Structure 1
Amino acid sequence: MSTTSRTIHRVVVVMGVAGTGKTTIGPLVAEALGVPYAEGDDFHPEANVAKMSAGIPLDDSDRAPWLDAIGRWAHTRDGLGGVVSSSALKRIYRDRLRAAAPGVVFLHLTGDRALIEERMAARKGHFMPTALLDSQFAALQPLQDDEAGVAVDVSGSPEEITERAVAALRRLVV
């Protein structure tokens, strides 16, 4: 990768619908920025994983403890930097994360629905079924102008996506 290793000392939340590559791109962005990565799915309570595994979408009350756990992690990384994945589909979820860690910035992974569904169907061992993709797109509220963040298209290789993401984040945070 041709990115430089200059660290960004803010926490980056890699967001987007299921299948956009948060778990693939997040660690690559963290490595390029020289900061630790935390997998957002690891913050889900067992009840949430069971619900999603059964093909039942989470509601806002299900997401609250998950978002709070991610927010606590982001708060501990304030000033040190880090990357964490979280769908953060709705503005209220991002507001909750910002309330816990005001300096977070968002990296919204976006893309063509057909490409995302294809990638989602190809992944192995993940609890989120493709049947929930429609509910993800229905809930998605893209970043608004007053939110610190960037949107990056997920077409191309993981390395290409990471290059675009890191360049956009550096422009945003510098």
Structure 2
Amino acid sequence: MTLDQKGKILSGIWKEKEGDQAQFKAEITPDAIVFENSQIDRIEHFSNNIPKTYEFKQAKVQYLEKDNEVFIAGNIQLYDLKEHENEKPMYLSLQRNAPAADDQTQQILSQLIVYPNPVTSDSFNLSFELAEYTDISVDIYSFTGFLVNQQKLKTSDSGHQELAIPFNAPPGNYILNLKYGAKMIKTI
């Protein structure tokens, strides 16, 4: 997603992995981001490759700025214009940072995925790829900066890693810092 902000007005482009994309315009309110005449044509796996038109409704998000990084997390709702019904809310997690030019993040560790997101039990799964063996640790912070969980992870070797992480905390958004060597990847 690309975002441009002018006062309380947001505009940008929403791009999906399947190639679907849409331009949008929205207004920032105290409780949500409310979209204005913003639609996307999506090809769903059950629609026989016929695009369906959805309207962006609203996004209920939290915003956090910390150490030159910006995090936006919450839910976004689409509305099916043909069926006249709301779709299930999607969880949205955005991070903006400016990596150093010599950053080797994608060469050692990549494809960091936390699921289920949101967490629905007393644990979640962490999935990532390691190009080479390295020690890994996880720190989980609240949006107010309080350390909620910290642990070192045992990885067997390089390659695909699937790890179950115990986590018991009140509902909300948290920042996960995955550290390896002197580097770190963050997600919400």
More strand by share: 2
**What TM-score range do you get, normalising by the shorter chain?**
under 0.3
More helix by share: 1
- Name the TM-score, length of structure 1 as normaliser: 0.24
- Name the TM-score, length of structure 2 as normaliser: 0.23
Q: Between Structure 1 and Structure 2, whose CA radius of gyration is higher?
A: 2
